[in-house]
Structure 1
Amino acid sequence: MTTTTRTTDARTGLRSVAEVLLARRGAVYLPARDGSGPVSPDVLAGVTLLEADLLDRGYVLSAPLREALTVGGPTAMTAAGRTLLADIDRALGADREHTPLFRKFPGSTPHDTTVFYVERVLALLTQHPRQPCVLCEGEGTVHAVSPCAHLVCRRCFDGSDFAACPICHRALSADDPFLLPAPPRAGAGRHGALPERLRVLALGGDMADRQHAAREETGRLLGRTAALSPQDADDLEALLEVCGRAGLDWLPAALPGRETKARVLAWLLRAPGTRAAVLPEVAARLDTATDILRLLIVWSGGDPGLVEVPRLAPVPRPVRRALLGALDALDPALAVADMRRHRALWVPAAHALHPFEYADRFPRAALAVAALRNTRLSHDRFGDTLRTAAEPLTTVDTGGDRPRVRTWGGRVETALAEGDHRRATALLTQRPGELLRRLDHLLRLAGEDTGPVLSALPAAATRVSPAVLLSALGALRSRRQPSGERVFFPKGPQAKAYLADDEREIPAGHAVEAAITTLTEEVLRRAAALGPLDVAVVDADLDGIVAPFAERTASRALVTLPRGSERPLTPGRTLRLFLHWMESEESGDTDLDLSLALFNGAWEHIGTCDYTRLRHTGAVHSGDRTSAPAPDGASEFLDLDLDELERAGVRYAVAAVFSYNDVPFDELPEAFAGFMVRDEPGDKGPVFDPRTVEQRFDLTSAAKSSVPLVLDIPGRTMRWLDVVQGVSGTHHAVHRHVELLAVLGRSLTGLFTSGARVELGELAVWQAAARATTVLLRHSDGSVTPYRRRADEDALAFAGRIGAPEHDPSAGDIGQDPARIGAAFLVRGDVPLPAGCPVYALHPAGLDAAVVRLLTASDVVNSLAHGGPTAD
């Protein structure tokens, strides 16, 4: 079965609807066909070949899908198979050529990088045409290569091994005589274990079923309270096109995610033909001034998080009137307070809306903008109109020549500055989200008088979003044993981590514990509101996976793993990191470098493996590619022998990607990296084996460095960091940044092991304990420990007992009666489940989205929004 290739734009990560549903549901949708008549032998042979090709990529056909592919002629089957393989190859990164500098890598990687470098320099500086080679003294062996024109000895440098110029490592013309055919790699075609991410592809149905599935996925994304990840945002854009603008029965009356709301409403307004029809629906969903601002920014092509703000695009008059009408419906005091938070953005936004032009029609909107701009009110028609609008409002004073607004935020800041925690708490109860965000500050300010704060907390906790609730809970837990260091992930277009000394006082211990209990009980209350269950299954191995609630800068990845999550590595197998990129004419020659920094248990640097040192004990680099012209681009690899690294005293290995010549990743047509887990040692098997790919992620930010992961070598674990490191200048190399990488690795590892981030395993146990009569805890060896809720046991006590040695053997196991299972939280979807059962599985495996309700990690978090009214 041959595959088709296409250009991937790593800067957007856009996928077709078929790819979206394949990735999110593991489902394939085929045109409806008549199933009557015998099956052609050619079709059966083609499906068999397709199955083999899919297995080579870590996918398996389900029986219904295989049968559906056999219906119809060979042309239809071939088209469906090619499309499916192309979609999978794009997701894995297998739609690109992956050729390392040393094509016989790792066997042919030089053992002495210095000697290799000296030989290259000698050849560059002293080699002359039509003269004997300066290295081997051979005659007639020195020739210029194209297009760099470096003089290369064909005896000293093996053209069957080098995939680029041996001197400058830039790509050569494909027809250059130096490039000799490479011998086939030993062991090619042999396969070891199947990947952890193995997935059974299900038959989703026909095109009508695809429409229904697209609407279901759209509804889930629109129901999220937190900001969408870049991949989810791209998927939503593709799904919206399927939903269409003609009928809006798919559009919820309330859109809880503020940034998602801006995306959807801007999308609705983009089509001029339906704009008039959708304007009332758009205006009805704008209930804050920032909603209007976000909509204007997204309308202009910017980011709804108000991070990347373009010049505002012109706004048509009907849209302008609708937005001013929404602003006019707000309390001017609340609108002004909202607008002042983003004053620099609102000033040009107000100019684009022309509110004073419509002062007679929308006087409260004009009043809010006048207060924001501190506009002088003359005694004319305009000023009188605004004064009349302000008369019934107690928070707006127009007695002077300028409108004055008494804002809630100013009163809160005054109370905090004066140390009046009681007054501050009373004010913050009006906005529960702010109370929880400032909870640590209030407890410190209160000293021993924490009663008012703790009394206000239960009611406030019921009204916040899951992200705010879990964030506050994690932040308080980390105060039990302060590390003396704070880690910040400020809002921005890139996932940057900032470190600072923690100079805060420690709140009273009893208050911290009381607040933690209150917040945990609120999580349990919300979970219980989802309804009772008979049996819930929880995988103990979910511990270490962080519950996501801030995914705005998460990388687009094959396996969605929240930042900070830790996963075990399979012992005894080779870990191969890979990097691929392609430069554009605008970016010119672009050199990305795959690098590894090695540290001991005290985070002291003990070695590197990158283009400056191609071999380190237990690590081998594939060689430095210094250009990546289209269409093939360039690839680098790095093999890790974990056992050998451990014997060499390595505790931590930090992987990094640097842009050597300072070209930002987002200026490249494509750039992605990832890792494979291989059974074949050394140079056995293909260099890039799609079957062994366990993770693949895009490099799409404006950064020039990326730190995707850190490995704990003795612990055989991988922690997913997915952050960028700020660099400046050019000639970036890992040895220049080892101190910063050590601080970053140590600090982030400390943060994510401190309890500052609620883990998905905890959340699963809390949900199970709050809802189920029996909880089955499944362990990595396949054994199951059952726990049954006692008659007098509340959810908090039951949750605390799950995982303890004391259990109830008579509670049963998974295999006794799968129909009793009402929810499951799994690492692998290999548990028999009843139809309609909601299930989270990091690796869905054989779970069919048409049978069970597949949940993402974000869905698990977002389900807590339905346990009561929420507010940010």
Structure 2
Amino acid sequence: MDRMAELLLRQRLVTPDLLVPAAEREAPVPGRAGRGRSSRRSRPLAAVADGVVALEADLLQLGHVLSAPLRARLAELDAGDLGQAGRALVSALSAQLGGLVVHTPLFRRFPESVPADTVEVYVRRVFSVLLQRPEQPCVLCGEAAAVHPVSPCAHLVCRACWDGADYSACPICHRRIDPGDPFLRPADDVYAPAVGWHGRVPETLTLLGLCADPAAWARDLLGPLLSRQAAPRAEDREIVAEIVDRFWPESAGWLPERIPARETRAVVLATAVRHGDLALLTRHADTATDVLRLLHALMGGDPGLRARLPRRTNLSRPVRRALLAALDRQALPYLIEDLHRYAAQWRHMAEVLHPYEFHRRHPDAALAFAVLRGTPLRKGTPMADVLLERAAAHGDLLSFDGVRLRARTFAGRFEAALRTDPREALALLSRRPGELLRRTADLARRLPAADLAEALRAAAPHVSPAVLIATLGQLRTPPGGTRMFLPRGGAARIWAEPDVREELAPETVAALTAVLTGEMLRRAAALPSVETALLDEELSDLLAPEAERSASASLVRLPRGSVRPLPRGERIRLFLHWAEPAGHRVDLDLSVAVFDARWEFAGLCDYTNLRLGANAAVHSGDLTSAPEPQGASEFVDLDVAALRATGGRYVVPVVFSYNDVPFDDLVRGFAGFMDDPGGLFDPLAVRQRFDLTGPAKILVPLVADLWSRTMRWVDLNVSAFAGIHDVYEHEGRLARLGAAAEDAYGLGERVTLWEVACWHAAARAREVVVRHRDGAVSRHARRPGEDAAAFASRLGARRVAACGPDAGTTEADLAVVLRDDVRVSEGAQVYALHPAHLDPAVIRSLDAADLVGMLAPRRGDPAGDKWAGDKWFVHPEACVGQ
């Protein structure tokens, strides 16, 4: 399937033109409208209609239905294109759920082999769904209600939007309806197994919408991704790269004046450089680290600068000159500091840039590299004379010992000031807002609250929302628990230690948090207002994302530390699949470690112990290689009740690379879990699927608590060194890691998505409807003269207010919910952890990072303009504080 089509499908959008490979398309026949495939136009139209129904039957088996516009568009395709589109769509949806092979459609030579009566197959499947789960989304209005199948085609609509009285045809396919009754009734044998069902009947059906204009969709999707300040996930970087490259040079006009997230910026610049556009460097490369990220992206490396150094590739002379010019434009103190921050990477890249070749044209760049590399400078030589003359103008920064230049860095000045005079340290940090926010919790123990609050008030408008959220969590979490330090990504060591810091005074915490929450509310108030916002109280179980650069690409995008219920069934099946590169054996192991309530080891299920207890946990067996094309798969079945009976409380699933091969080297690799599957691998039973990526060799995706039947999503890549990896070797580390994660995330007062949603609603909406945990629904209207802070405080109290009978049926303009079984206006902004019902073509879908990213500081903001710093003193990367 085309890469752009895959991106569309992630958003539950489909465009038939992109599902048909470009190489398969033929030139139009002269004089004939449309695409003109004359050899296929002889195919009867009835065959196309049957093919659409057969495709609907296959999609129903994967838990999906077509929206009315998408079905109409598919019906316009000729038989050949419909076959291409159908096979690609079914395969892609299967792969999203973790299908181990390309799923063959129900009719193998679709559409040529479609039987005469495809409607009977489809109708049987529809009734199989409705008799077990009648609450399905209407494909017209999207409302999750009791839908009914139209007679005789069986398309699902609700009586609220269509009853057959005024329209004599199906509103979806326009087929004539039964004049006696517009809706089908189940036959006597409807309880018989439906034709072609494998495994379970889908619990809910997911609506696929039509993307009529891919370019417009791409531009709308690209905008929020480019405006985020937090470092992006790897999958989001791939989306940005694909869209910018696919629609170049048109996409160059879609770029904003400023791209805040520097890793995203590097991806965009790398695409521009590959297309020969070097002008964007002047606009978007404002630090030396921007140039380093760009170099990594150009060479196929990680623009986050976390993974191993990429293999150097040669650059053309114009590109080298442009990159050195971008470095030379930086203020020399920060250029030297940036090069020292990533010293190993810059020494690696210097071999490609050849900075001394252009020492006269770009003397500051050459000087910074001479300091970094400790290059001997002998007076009287041409390059030494040029560089020493430049260095003499910065005597407070550089010193010359007769052979080499040495620099004094900001970090050294700050640490010296912190030891002797914290007020001087605060003055230094006030020029670097991001650094100030990161150190706020420490400074709050050294400085008067009033002084620190004043500094925060000036710095906060320049800092990314992710850093503000992290700082709020640090201030509000009392000591006594566990401090957990996560690496920036990759396989660096995760560190945890008891929090023995001095407790902050309550009035200090109140003063500082008021400044930070006030800033978030101010930013939210600058966004477009809405009439009604709808929130789910259960959002308090989901943490607001802070840093997602190392997050795994997953089916359900859970922020790290969030809690969700375990699947309802008593049997949970974990799965792992991988394929190794040619000539390299890769042995992955799916393992489970079980611990009691005190985190004492209680048992394991892995390749050394295929059964835990009688059947509490059962392993499918150890595969030690995974050659293409089949790869290899392992499964572990967990019986929740039996595991509790063995004395277990906590279950920690782990993926080990037994023979120490990093996940990055895999051809493909993914894992996940299913709920009571109907077969070995049941796509409809998949509840989570996530990719295995990065330089790590051990992944801990979650920690399950069997007593509360919940799981905490941790998504941690654990450090490992050369050797054999299994539960026995890492038993103690897994216990410490699981206990630390439960303590750090469970006891800390971190910012949740509920709080972020309350900021949006309180600052933007006239009224807010809240769906509570117990099923109650309440309405909260803004009171006369009530400001956003007071409204947010009232919402945060979570009291069930009196409300009218229509509180739960109001159309919302902003919805932040777990499931999108809600009524919203056209064009509404909707975050749903589990989207399925609403047509993605008529709403604006958001994810958690969008909700946070919308609160980013913006240029032209009056609050930001009140604080102006000289470029020589304010480091650009220190403002947003990624």
Is the TM value for this pair above 0.5? yes
Aligned counterpart, 2:705 = 712
**Distance in 2 separating the partners of 1:310 and 1:414:** 36
Pair 1:604-2:600 in alignment = yes
Aligned counterpart, 1:871 = 880
Question: Which of 254, 268, 282 lines up with 1:264 in the alignment?
Answer: 268
Pair 1:216-2:220 in alignment = yes
**Distance in 1 separating the partners of 2:322 and 2:558:** 40
Q: Is the 8 A contact 1:579 1:635 kept in 2?
A: yes
Aligned counterpart, 2:76 = 71
3-state SS of paired residue (1:724): strand
Map 1:5-44 onto structure 2 (within 5 A). Answer: 16-30=3-17, 40-44=45-49
**Distance in 2 separating the partners of 1:191 and 1:629:** 28
Shift in CA distance, 201/613, structure 1 to aligned 2, threshold 3 Å: same
Q: Is the 8 A contact 1:580 1:636 kept in 2?
A: yes
Pair 1:737-2:730 in alignment = yes
Question: Which of 186, 202, 210 lines up with 1:194 in the alignment?
Answer: 202
Shift in CA distance, 220/622, structure 1 to aligned 2, threshold 3 Å: same
Single out whichever of 421-430 and 27-36 deviates more from structure 2.
27-36
Shift in CA distance, 863/39, structure 1 to aligned 2, threshold 3 Å: farther
Single out whichever of 81-90 and 792-801 deviates more from structure 2.
792-801
Map 1:671-750 onto structure 2 (within 5 A). Answer: 671-678=669-676, 685-728=678-721, 732-750=725-743
Aligned counterpart, 1:836 = 827
Map 1:349-428 onto structure 2 (within 5 A). Answer: 349-373=349-373, 376=377, 378-379=379-380, 382-386=383-387, 389=390, 396=397, 407-418=409-420, 420-428=421-429
Pair 1:323-2:323 in alignment = yes
Residue type at the aligned position of 2:209: A
Pair 1:861-2:878 in alignment = no
- RMSD over aligned Cα atoms: 3.1
Shift in CA distance, 838/645, structure 1 to aligned 2, threshold 3 Å: same
Pair 1:551-2:548 in alignment = yes
3-state SS of paired residue (1:837): strand
3-state SS of paired residue (2:545): coil
Deviation at 1:64, TM superposition (A): 1.9
Residue type at the aligned position of 1:265: L
Aligned counterpart, 2:137 = none
Deviation at 1:643, TM superposition (A): 3.4
**Distance in 2 separating the partners of 1:84 and 1:399:** 66
Aligned counterpart, 2:537 = 540
Aligned counterpart, 1:642 = 640
**Distance in 1 separating the partners of 2:662 and 2:449:** 49
Aligned counterpart, 2:786 = 793
TM-score (norm. length: structure 2): 0.79
**Distance in 2 separating the partners of 1:470 and 1:672:** 31
Deviation at 1:602, TM superposition (A): 1.9
Q: Is the 8 A contact 2:777 2:803 kept in 1?
A: no
**Distance in 1 separating the partners of 2:768 and 2:250:** 46
Deviation at 1:19, TM superposition (A): 0.4
Q: Is the 8 A contact 1:58 1:692 kept in 2?
A: no
How many residues matched? 751
Question: Which of 499, 515, 520 lines up with 1:518 in the alignment?
Answer: 515
Shift in CA distance, 615/502, structure 1 to aligned 2, threshold 3 Å: closer
Residue type at the aligned position of 1:27: V
**Distance in 2 separating the partners of 1:190 and 1:830:** 27
**Distance in 1 separating the partners of 2:59 and 2:493:** 37
Aligned counterpart, 2:134 = none
Single out whichever of 668-677 and 726-735 deviates more from structure 2.
726-735
Deviation at 1:44, TM superposition (A): 2.7
Deviation at 1:689, TM superposition (A): 0.9
Deviation at 1:210, TM superposition (A): 1.2
**Distance in 2 separating the partners of 1:426 and 1:608:** 54
Deviation at 1:256, TM superposition (A): 0.9
Aligned counterpart, 2:470 = 471
Q: Is the 8 A contact 2:281 2:326 kept in 1?
A: no
Deviation at 1:853, TM superposition (A): 1.0
3-state SS of paired residue (1:835): strand
Deviation at 1:426, TM superposition (A): 0.9
Deviation at 1:859, TM superposition (A): 0.9
**Distance in 2 separating the partners of 1:524 and 1:503:** 32
3-state SS of paired residue (1:655): strand
Single out whichever of 744-753 and 394-403 deviates more from structure 2.
394-403
**Distance in 2 separating the partners of 1:530 and 1:212:** 22
Unaligned runs of 5+ in 1: 1-5, 7-14, 99-184
**Distance in 2 separating the partners of 1:538 and 1:687:** 38
Q: Is the 8 A contact 1:591 1:625 kept in 2?
A: yes
Q: Is the 8 A contact 1:768 1:775 kept in 2?
A: yes
Q: Is the 8 A contact 2:569 2:675 kept in 1?
A: no
Aligned counterpart, 2:439 = 438
3-state SS of paired residue (1:846): coil
Residue type at the aligned position of 1:871: V
Single out whichever of 723-732 and 845-854 deviates more from structure 2.
723-732
Deviation at 1:472, TM superposition (A): 1.2
TM-score (norm. length: structure 1): 0.80
Q: Is the 8 A contact 2:266 2:297 kept in 1?
A: yes
Pair 1:236-2:240 in alignment = yes
Deviations 1:692-735 (A, max 9, x none): 11211122233332211121222121221211334456554324
Deviation at 1:421, TM superposition (A): 1.0
**Distance in 1 separating the partners of 2:463 and 2:703:** 34
Q: Is the 8 A contact 2:640 2:706 kept in 1?
A: yes
Deviation at 1:586, TM superposition (A): 2.1
Aligned counterpart, 1:304 = 303
Single out whichever of 465-474 and 400-409 deviates more from structure 2.
400-409
Deviation at 1:391, TM superposition (A): 7.0
Residue type at the aligned position of 2:96: A
Shift in CA distance, 812/349, structure 1 to aligned 2, threshold 3 Å: farther
Deviations 1:109-142 (A, max 9, x none): xxxxxxxxxxxxxxxxxxxxxxxxxxxxxxxxxx
Aligned counterpart, 2:668 = 670
**Distance in 2 separating the partners of 1:382 and 1:737:** 55
Aligned counterpart, 1:153 = none
Pair 1:592-2:588 in alignment = yes
Pair 1:49-2:54 in alignment = yes
Pair 1:81-2:90 in alignment = no
Deviation at 1:465, TM superposition (A): 0.9
Q: Is the 8 A contact 2:94 2:102 kept in 1?
A: no
Deviations 1:449-503 (A, max 9, x none): 343222211111111011211111112222x2431x3211112323753223445
Q: Is the 8 A contact 2:95 2:102 kept in 1?
A: no
Deviations 1:627-680 (A, max 9, x none): 4333222222222232343444432211112233444333332221111112x6
Deviation at 1:690, TM superposition (A): 0.9
Q: Is the 8 A contact 1:614 1:622 kept in 2?
A: no
Deviations 1:62-82 (A, max 9, x none): 122122222233222221111
Q: Is the 8 A contact 1:495 1:554 kept in 2?
A: no
Q: Is the 8 A contact 1:618 1:645 kept in 2?
A: yes
Q: Is the 8 A contact 2:62 2:202 kept in 1?
A: no
Deviation at 1:377, TM superposition (A): 6.4
Percent of aligned pairs sharing the same letter: 44
Deviation at 1:769, TM superposition (A): 1.6
Residue type at the aligned position of 1:802: L
Deviation at 1:849, TM superposition (A): 3.0
